[in-house]
Structure 1
Amino acid sequence: MLVGYMRVSKADGSQSTDLQSDALLVAGVESDQLYEDQASGKKDDRPQLAACLKALREGDTLLVWKLDRLGRDLRHLVNTVHDLTDRGIGLKVLTGEGAAIDTTTASGKLVFGIFAALAEFERALISERTVAGLAAARARGRTGGRPFKMTPAKIRLAMAAMGQKETKVGALCVELGITRQTLYRHVSPTGELRPDGQRLLSKK
């Protein structure tokens, strides 16, 4: 079965999903299989996306008009598609930069593999820059202050590091200058943001 997901950024009626719905209907999605959210792509609270993902079954294909309608960012997108793939569900993008993605085909899987590699590269860069920044701060003697304070930079490093199987949590806490309790209050063992972490990053 084909299932379509649509999203517009504003909920005040100034944006419409007509273009997206027309394209999805032409692609073969039935009107009763369309899900729509009116929210920023960066927001976690997208109830129709959650309902759409829950409704999908093995053998189904999720269709989106453009790639940016689905994911908050590259990492979220990659994680979402990996989850769909593990459940035997395909993803097809109709237009835009991700139009070559169709995980029901071999070539489409190859294209998505490139996106996944870019996400991994992005995480590695964040980790590398953050470690370098912390080392530079230590070299300048900036090690005082509140010893267990979590910062946006530390959260990003923790997210990147916790997503790697080889990460030793104790060593990571020493590197960041925080306790395990502080780490797990902000980031889950798999590298996902927890509410405290989300609140801290949103204050930027």
Structure 2
Amino acid sequence: MIGAIMKNRIYGYARVSSADQNLDRQLDALERFPVQTNLIYADKASGKDFRRPQYRRLLRRLREGDVLVIKSIDRLGRDYREVIDEWRRLTTDKRVAIVVLDMPLLDTREQPNGITGTFIADLVLQVLSYVAQVERENIKQRQAEGIASARSRGIRFGRPMIERPENYRSVVQSFKGGGVTRRDAAALLGVSPSTFDRWRRADSTIVDRPPFNRSL
């Protein structure tokens, strides 16, 4: 009798990353599964604010043997590391089954033959995580190559250099001779001491750079 009262429940979770996005498509898919409307939790969370209060409420409600249905795997987190952490929390710590509607292989419910889909689902997740990591590394490499190529063509990055005042050289000479302090020199030029330091470092780099030999 107690077992009948405490039977496992099917929950749904939906999330969008900004307040102006629509949850309807996810909610419709969850209801078609079907998940009862009163057992669906939904969050509208921005990338900066990922507290997800409804997801936290859902975690407190989930019990061993319950089923959690989501439309896509990225509803669990912002990146695959976070997705895998949540996946393990749900399947290993809370012993909840997960069904991902957009990816039928990610279904950890017990099948009629007594075999669970947990092993296959975990394997698929690891492959997806690896692919995502490789893609991130490829993006970083392409960015680095693009920056290097742009720099070789003379394109400069970062904040634009402030043009030096006409009295810059005379102030630098006075500073080197001990006539003014670093702070006074910066004040005479109308810039901050850090900008004055940056200008002097740039000057020393230009002076120390060996001349380009076209005959090589």
Q: Is 2:27 the partner of 1:21?
A: yes
64, 74, 78: which one pairs with 2:70? 64
Aligned to 2:96: 89
The structure-2 alpha-carbon separation of the partners of 1:31 and 1:79, relative to structure 1 and needing over 3 Å to count, comes to same
The structure-2 alpha-carbon separation of the partners of 1:111 and 1:41, relative to structure 1 and needing over 3 Å to count, comes to farther
**How do residues 190-201 of structure 1 correspond to structure 2 at under 5 angstroms?**
none
Alpha-carbon separation, structure 1, partners of 2:49 and 2:118: 27
Match of 1:32, as an amino acid? N
- Note the C-alpha offset of 1:42: 6.6
Aligned to 1:100: 105
- Note the C-alpha offset of 1:40: 3.1
Deviation per residue, 1:85-142 (Å, 9 max, x gap):
12220111111xx34201125446313323235547849x98xx9xxxxxxxxxxxxx
Q: Is 2:55 the partner of 1:49?
A: yes
Q: How many residues get paired? A: 122
Deviation per residue, 1:54-113 (Å, 9 max, x gap):
211111011111111221211111111111112220111111xx3420112544631332
Alpha-carbon separation, structure 2, partners of 1:3 and 1:89: 10
Tell me the secondary structure at the aligned position of residue 79 of structure 1.
Answer: helix
Gaps of 5+ in 2: 1-8, 111-115, 141-216
- Note the C-alpha offset of 1:45: 1.1
Q: Is 2:123 the partner of 1:113?
A: yes
Contact 1:41 1:68 survives alignment (8 Å): no
Match of 1:93, as an amino acid? V
- Note the C-alpha offset of 1:43: 4.2
**How do residues 177-188 of structure 1 correspond to structure 2 at under 5 angstroms?**
none
Match of 1:112, as an amino acid? D
Aligned to 1:4: 12
**CA RMSD between the two structures:** 2.6
Alpha-carbon separation, structure 2, partners of 1:46 and 1:31: 19
Match of 2:106, as an amino acid? I
Aligned to 1:183: none
Alpha-carbon separation, structure 1, partners of 2:127 and 2:21: 33
Tell me the secondary structure at the aligned position of residue 42 of structure 2.
Answer: strand
The structure-2 alpha-carbon separation of the partners of 1:26 and 1:44, relative to structure 1 and needing over 3 Å to count, comes to same
Contact 2:68 2:99 survives alignment (8 Å): yes
Alpha-carbon separation, structure 2, partners of 1:120 and 1:43: 26
Deviation per residue, 1:123-162 (Å, 9 max, x gap):
9x98xx9xxxxxxxxxxxxxxxxxxxxxxxxxxxxxxxxx
Q: Is 2:39 the partner of 1:33?
A: yes
Higher relative contact order (CA 8 A, sep 6+): 1
Normalised TM-score (structure 1):
0.52
Contact 1:41 1:71 survives alignment (8 Å): no
The structure-2 alpha-carbon separation of the partners of 1:54 and 1:4, relative to structure 1 and needing over 3 Å to count, comes to same
